[in-house]
Structure 1
Amino acid sequence: MAGEPPLHASIDGEEQAFCCGGCQALAQTLHAAGFGHLYGDQARFARPIDDAARREAEPVWAAYDTEELRAQFVRALDERRAEITLAPENIRCAACAWLIEQHLGSLPGVESVIANVATRRVVVRWRAAEQPVSALLAALAGIGYLAWPFEVSRSDRQDRHARRGLLMRMAVAMLGMMQVMMYAWPIYTHEATIDPGQLQLMRWASLVLTLPVVLYSASPIFAGAWRGLRQRHLGMDVPVALGVGAGFVASTVATLRGTGEVYFDSVTMFVAFLLLARYLELRVRQASRSGAEMLARQLPATCERLRAEGGAGERVPVARLRAGDLIRVKAGEVVPADATVIAGASELDESMLTGESRPVPRGIGDPVLAGCFNTASPLELRVAKVGAGTRLAEIVAVLDRALAEKPRLATVADRVAGWFVAILLVLAAVTGAVWWAWIDPARALLVTVAVLVVSCPCALSLATPAALAAAGAALSRRGLLLTRGHALETLASVTDVMLDKTGTLTQGRFALVRTQSNGDADADADAATCLRLAAAMERSGEHPIARGIVEAAQAQGLGHETLAIDAMRNVPGQGLEADLDGRRYRLGRREFVEALCEHGSAANWHAELAGSERRGATLVWLGSAAGTLAVFELADVAREQSARLLSELRALGVTCHLVSGDTPATVGWWADHFQISRREGGVTPEGKREYVARLQRGGAVVLAVGDGINDAPVLAQAQVSIAIGSGAPLAQAGADAVLTHGRVAEIANALKMARRARSVVRQNLAWAFAYNVIAIPLAATGYVTAWMAGIGMSVSSLLVVANAWRLLRAGKPGD
């Protein structure tokens, strides 16, 4: 990197200079392995962190060697070996992954290292007694990769195991289906011309190929049916297992006897299609997570605890904090517990907890909440509540209660499954008895099997999941991920939509919307010059307002980096003060700036700009001794598609509500701007939940849309909910769907897709019932043989699936 001295090392007896630690480590590793000729001037990696940054990071690394954090992040493989997942911050390519694997793999005790570029995770297995966790983190930092332990929760591992298992079962069923169809097709088309010996050989081959499908792929179906029977509940697994089992047993008996019809193809086809639908459902369902897991990931793992007698602090796990402890939270860190400020002044971003879009000032004596982000200056805090007693934990508890109270809407097929199975068993039994007693005992078994197969609830069991899977896949292509199975059915019935403001209808960030300069104070102080000066003063700031000013200057191409700002001073809660060309400037609150002005400010600005604050805008003043130079108006701005979303929701006949934690004046301004008649501001998370409950008591089916942790309770209370993907993880944990981008108009498209899916489900169910009404009497009277029943079952299922997957074309991006 420019301006930094090169690193030196001896390679093959020659002193070499390297641009960074990564290049040095790569060259040494390649030469040691005999591949020195591969190293060239094109490889560039990150420079190791400097000594000051290392001294600051070492206490944090050491904290991960404590018993509490080792239990949280390190997984014991046996008595000696352990495994940990690390998350490097700047891993970029396969070369980075290779370097990390080689460098960590060379450490004593390390057995294996797997670096995944796609997930940006590094899995290390090592002999725990030979290397502490801090040594692994330090080794990565030494080659330029600052990393932290990543907690792989139990549910993450279970999810991966479930996906892998279902995918393997589906693959076996698909392969079995294709191979069996190769033998079934000649039998259907040229059975009369096939030699009986070859015909029997093809049946045995089909039986062998179907065995793994029934015993392995379909085993969850039989297990689910058995559990349902033990609990005296006839779910959809019962008729599915009955159909698969009856088809397989009858085919096996016919193969063993050497006579009769077989329909192994129908069995394998049905299992393959059913598992495909279940796999699609599983993928979207696993996107949800529990509130407790998200809470653990929201709070930091360590914090700086101060000693009561004074002196330097120590980095400790957050789990060790107790009420009364003193802690320091630096700018850019998250508050680990509910506490009270005892020293310092800063501004905290509480938007994920309160819904307030602007950072709020906090000084001595003020309370701060766990999970808030410190944006400006260091704070010393006295811990008041930890763990389950924090405000964040209370919100999670409300979320969990709401999730427990949420009604679970069963699919139409599940509601009729019990009756269908009962009727099916009665019909099959009656048919077998009649044929055995009065018609033809020799055909009784085959006719009974034909009734079971022709009425096998393939089409019925696929009718709903196939349509929901197709609609879910279509919405996923457009960036809306369904996380609960009932979401589409409920979206189709929505009557009211409750919208949050910050981060939902608006972008949730400050943007410069207007700059007004005062030519009377300085003839050379035009708007562009003032913005350039303000950006130069704010260029190193992390405050949202600072970022808004700097981004505005960059967008206008103003070279604020070239201004030589001297004597910069940050006055917490007031603003900035600096010198430029021997002249003192202030940027910040009006009173702070006017205190520097010898002639005060332009009074006529006040009335003109006062109206801006009614929409939640923030006014940042710039001035010098000559007077006020400019006023920058920064405000939250509407998302690009917010107006389109509201227009389409009205066209669908849905009532919109704007409910936010922002001030009533701000909410009122935005409600007027979006033409929303039903609005309410200053609402707490519990208040939002009660607002939805009132609508529900009036018979409304409510869709809630939000993005912050404060929205989680209301997202859980509503019959169906959507979280903006850029928002807080806890909000997504309580939502039934997650919008993975900011194109909010897709929410209206989701309602349209849900209504289409409901129509397709009704069509599929109608076809399935009509098919059974026609096919069952024909099979019971002997007009439909077993092979005809197998074909009819397969065709019926294919029609249902084909009709459902029409939703994919209707849901292509850009429609």
Structure 2
Amino acid sequence: MDHGSMDHAALGHASMDHASMDHGAMGHAGHGDHVGQFRRLFWVMLVLAVPVVAFSGMFAMLLGYDLPDAAWTAWISPVLGTVMYLWGGRPFLTGAVTELRQRSPGMMLLIALAITVAFLSSWGASLGLLAMELDFWWELALLIVIMLLGHWIEMRSLAQSSSALESLAALLPDTAERVDAGEVTVVAPADLEVGDLVIVRPGGRIPADGQVTEGTADVDESMITGESRPVRRGPGSPVVAGTVATDTALRLRVTAVGDDTALAGIRRLVAEAQGSSSRAQRLADRAAGWLFWFALGVGVLTAIAWTVFGSPEDAVMRTITVLVIACPHALGLAIPLVVSIATERAARGGVLVTDRLALESMRTVDTVLFDKTGTLTRGEPVVSRVHAVAGHTDDEVLALAAAVEADSEHPLAKAIVTAARTRALTVPAATGFEASTAVGVTASVDGRVTAVGGPSLLSRHDAEPLHVTEAWAAEGAIVLHVLRDGRTIGAIGLADEVRPESREAVDALHALGIAVVMITGDAEAVAHAVAAELGIDRVFAGVHPDRKAATVVQLQQEGHRVAMVGDGVNDAPALTQADVGIAIGAGTDVAIASAGVILASDDPRSVLSVIELSRASYRKMTQNLWWAAGYNLLAVPLAAGVLAPIGFVLPMEVGALLMSASTVVVAVNAQLLRRLDLRPEVSTARAHGERRPDTAPATPPAAAPHGTGH
């Protein structure tokens, strides 16, 4: 393996290259490889550092032990130290060159300056050209090892294993069945052309955008539109590539292929949002840039002052000491250690952090935008209510419906059967099952014809819908009537079940003064019902995928810092556009790869854990940076001899001890994060505890009424 090939660009996030700060800019595939390279390089350098430090004359003098008298031992540190400088230090040296070209000095340049000065002065001391006190081989070795450790820790915490764009492409089926002159041939979706006639089997994915020419089916479009219920598609209806025909076969005429499909459009939106994400500089990089100019300026002043008021030898020694003491041991670990511990603690609380910038930004969020389906709700229908006419009971109606639906694979049928099982009802046996497209299902139960279906079933039997179902439909429920021998005996209402934790999450966010907004592809009635139940501030309903990202932009233009929480392909562009993208881990790979934070569970209360983690880790980062930079701000002037007029010059061994002490303090402070309990229920309870008596309720963005859309 060519370690030297890990130039500045390859450092990705860890290199502090501003151009790679945006979410996903480097690409996901390269992370894992570079993590492995840094891991191997760190261990190789650690092995080499042991003899370099042990046989360094300056280090031996500091600890007070004697080196062997053999002449060859004097060359162990110079030879191995040179290997470490050229091999282990190369990523930092090439990174420094890039920062110089960009005229943006930062951590890479500060590290390169320190190791280069240490390298040159150590060779000078080893060759007898400079004083023995300038033997910094041990310092050079430790600095390279510590910096490589910091980069390895950080890159490991940021590594991502999947690509959003690859996951989007995976939604297309591997093959498509094309009808040519009456014969069916199997082709790749990429070989389809506009105008081709295609067959889609029950349960199969649609290979291209098209228009149905024959057949009627319930099409699951949730991965594209976010609509929680299957949509009925018949002759003349448009269908979208990547969606699923759930129950019956379809024939369709292809209307768009390749880059012209809706799926490709979503893919472009994801790519554009990733490319236009914030390029905010890291705190550590800014601090390193300031420290670089500070150290360089003090070094120049030191050289001038000691040349004028001292001797050239003193000027060289003091200047080199200043530049070496400025090396950022603690600064190089200040952020990576906090990131590593924070992500580890987050994982225990069901939160996976893939983008540190997103985690940092979460503390400033004032608006949380939830996708409804699969996030605030379970994304699958459940029986929400049952009504029986006089002479029958609710349990009887549900049991008969479950008997008829027992042989159906439809999501609504499964919900009815599950509800009967949950209530421990005795479900009679059914025979003669028949399914009629767009009407319902029929079977014989206890010798009587029993049917379950929608409005078309009622029309077929000249029956009227039960009056109570009007209110159900107004609230967005799916209504099915149950008929026996042609007479209506009851009705069943089904809805997308709201997660029990959702109300707690919304209330806790309000307690922190954060507004809650909901966005969904569902109809207005469904959206309003859920919003009213949860106490949500503002609703965007009937929003198509290409408008979800635009909705985030709208909120941002209103001056809000937005966190988007979603789980579907249709959420991917909005997740990348938001200031913070949070994906429900049970969602699609696309949503996960497009987000900076992943909720490993489907508990929306974990959003509170993200906020708490963001605030706690930011405090630790800030404390560590002040401590790490404070050491330099204090030690560098003392090493320069600012107190020399009163007889005090910082001894080099004291400076070395201060460097080690600052690193220990930073490490211990970061470890305190381990005490933070990030379980969703704990974070939610703490959020309620933070509400002050004078805390005003969260103000909905733009103070819009429910249903305000675009």
**TM-score exceeds 0.5:** yes
Equivalent in 393, 409, 434 of residue 569 of structure 1 = 434
| Mapped partners of 1:264, 1:281: distance in 2 | 26
Kept in 1, the 8 Å contact 2:35–2:159? The answer is no
Could you tell me which residue of structure 2 aligns to residue 250 of structure 1?
Answer: 121
| Mapped partners of 2:513, 2:632: distance in 1 | 37
Equivalences for residues 697-736 of structure 1 within 5 A: 697-736=557-596
* Cα 1:157–1:652 shift into 2, 3 Å: closer
Kept in 1, the 8 Å contact 2:609–2:678? The answer is no
> What CA deviation, in whole Å up to 9, does each residue of 1:221-247 have, x standing for no partner?
222112222343313211012223333
Could you tell me which residue of structure 2 aligns to residue 804 of structure 1?
Answer: 670
Q: CA deviation at 1:385?
A: 0.3
| Mapped partners of 2:530, 2:71: distance in 1 | 76
* Structure 1 residue 544 corresponds to structure 2 residue 411: yes
Equivalent in 656, 661, 672 of residue 790 of structure 1 = 656
Kept in 1, the 8 Å contact 2:29–2:161? The answer is no
* Structure 1 residue 775 corresponds to structure 2 residue 635: yes
- Report the AA paired with residue 652 of structure 1: L
Q: CA deviation at 1:191?
A: 4.4
Could you tell me which residue of structure 2 aligns to residue 498 of structure 1?
Answer: 369
Kept in 2, the 8 Å contact 1:376–1:572? The answer is no
Kept in 1, the 8 Å contact 2:606–2:679? The answer is no
Kept in 2, the 8 Å contact 1:332–1:375? The answer is yes
Could you tell me which residue of structure 1 aligns to residue 484 of structure 2?
Answer: 624
**TM-score using structure 1 length:** 0.73
Equivalent in 593, 614, 617 of residue 754 of structure 1 = 614
* Cα 1:190–1:448 shift into 2, 3 Å: closer
| Mapped partners of 2:73, 2:479: distance in 1 | 82
SS in 2 for 1:300: coil
Could you tell me which residue of structure 2 aligns to residue 294 of structure 1?
Answer: 167
Could you tell me which residue of structure 2 aligns to residue 690 of structure 1?
Answer: 550
| Mapped partners of 1:324, 1:228: distance in 2 | 54
Could you tell me which residue of structure 1 aligns to residue 101 of structure 2?
Answer: 230
| Mapped partners of 1:688, 1:196: distance in 2 | 69
* Cα 1:535–1:155 shift into 2, 3 Å: farther
| Mapped partners of 2:422, 2:58: distance in 1 | 69
Q: CA deviation at 1:351?
A: 1.7
Equivalent in 407, 413, 424 of residue 295 of structure 2 = 424
Equivalent in 145, 148, 152 of residue 279 of structure 1 = 152
| Mapped partners of 2:421, 2:52: distance in 1 | 65
- Report the AA paired with residue 569 of structure 1: E
Q: CA deviation at 1:189?
A: 8.7
* Structure 1 residue 681 corresponds to structure 2 residue 541: yes
SS in 1 for 2:383: strand
* Cα 1:345–1:430 shift into 2, 3 Å: same
> What CA deviation, in whole Å up to 9, does each residue of 1:574-611 have, x standing for no partner?
221222444322122144157458xx46x6xx332322
Could you tell me which residue of structure 2 aligns to residue 314 of structure 1?
Answer: 185
Could you tell me which residue of structure 2 aligns to residue 589 of structure 1?
Answer: 454
Could you tell me which residue of structure 2 aligns to residue 36 of structure 1?
Answer: none
* Cα 1:375–1:498 shift into 2, 3 Å: same
Segment drifting more, 496-505 vs 273-282: 273-282
Could you tell me which residue of structure 2 aligns to residue 164 of structure 1?
Answer: 36
Equivalences for residues 175-574 of structure 1 within 5 A: 175-176=47-48, 191-192=63-64, 194-195=65-66, 197=68, 205-206=76-77, 210=81, 213-257=84-128, 259-260=132-133, 262-287=135-160, 291-307=164-180, 309-311=181-183, 313-518=184-389, 520=391, 526-557=393-424, 564-574=429-439
SS in 2 for 1:727: coil
Q: CA deviation at 1:380?
A: 0.8
> What CA deviation, in whole Å up to 9, does each residue of 1:33-52 have, x standing for no partner?
xxxxxxxxxxxxxxxxxxxx
- Report the AA paired with residue 667 of structure 2: V
Q: CA RMSD in A?
A: 3.0
Kept in 2, the 8 Å contact 1:323–1:386? The answer is yes
> What CA deviation, in whole Å up to 9, does each residue of 1:126-170 have, x standing for no partner?
xxxxxxxxxxxxxxxxxxxxxxxxxxxx96764442222122122
* Cα 1:668–1:581 shift into 2, 3 Å: closer
Q: Which protein, 1 or 2, shows the higher relative CO under an 8 Å CA cutoff with sep ≥ 6?
A: 2
| Mapped partners of 2:168, 2:513: distance in 1 | 37
**TM-score using structure 2 length:** 0.84
| Mapped partners of 2:68, 2:55: distance in 1 | 14
| Mapped partners of 1:173, 1:190: distance in 2 | 22
Q: CA deviation at 1:632?
A: 2.5
- Report the AA paired with residue 163 of structure 1: V
- Report the AA paired with residue 623 of structure 2: Q
Equivalent in 669, 681, 690 of residue 529 of structure 2 = 669
SS in 2 for 1:475: helix
Q: CA deviation at 1:539?
A: 3.7
SS in 2 for 1:510: strand
Kept in 1, the 8 Å contact 2:54–2:60? The answer is no
Segment drifting more, 451-460 vs 355-364: 451-460
Equivalent in 660, 675, 678 of residue 520 of structure 2 = 660
Kept in 1, the 8 Å contact 2:613–2:678? The answer is no
| Mapped partners of 1:249, 1:421: distance in 2 | 19
> What CA deviation, in whole Å up to 9, does each residue of 1:755-777 have, x standing for no partner?
12222222122223322221112
Kept in 2, the 8 Å contact 1:705–1:724? The answer is yes
- Report the AA paired with residue 491 of structure 1: M
SS in 2 for 1:382: strand
* Cα 1:802–1:264 shift into 2, 3 Å: farther
Q: CA deviation at 1:530?
A: 4.3
Could you tell me which residue of structure 1 aligns to residue 699 of structure 2?
Answer: none
SS in 2 for 1:673: helix
* Cα 1:429–1:532 shift into 2, 3 Å: same
> What CA deviation, in whole Å up to 9, does each residue of 1:743-765 have, x standing for no partner?
22111111111112222222122
| Mapped partners of 1:290, 1:297: distance in 2 | 11
Kept in 1, the 8 Å contact 2:287–2:629? The answer is no
SS in 2 for 1:649: helix
Kept in 1, the 8 Å contact 2:143–2:327? The answer is no
* Cα 1:713–1:224 shift into 2, 3 Å: same
Kept in 2, the 8 Å contact 1:594–1:628? The answer is no
- Report the AA paired with residue 387 of structure 1: G
* Structure 2 spans left out of the alignment, 5+ residues: 1-25, 683-710
| Mapped partners of 1:659, 1:703: distance in 2 | 12
* Cα 1:381–1:179 shift into 2, 3 Å: farther
Kept in 2, the 8 Å contact 1:764–1:800? The answer is yes
| Mapped partners of 2:57, 2:411: distance in 1 | 67
SS in 1 for 2:364: coil
Q: CA deviation at 1:702?
A: 1.1
| Mapped partners of 1:273, 1:539: distance in 2 | 64
SS in 2 for 1:641: helix
* Cα 1:511–1:198 shift into 2, 3 Å: farther
Kept in 2, the 8 Å contact 1:261–1:787? The answer is no
SS in 2 for 1:732: helix
* Cα 1:353–1:789 shift into 2, 3 Å: same
* Cα 1:415–1:196 shift into 2, 3 Å: closer
- Report the AA paired with residue 281 of structure 1: E
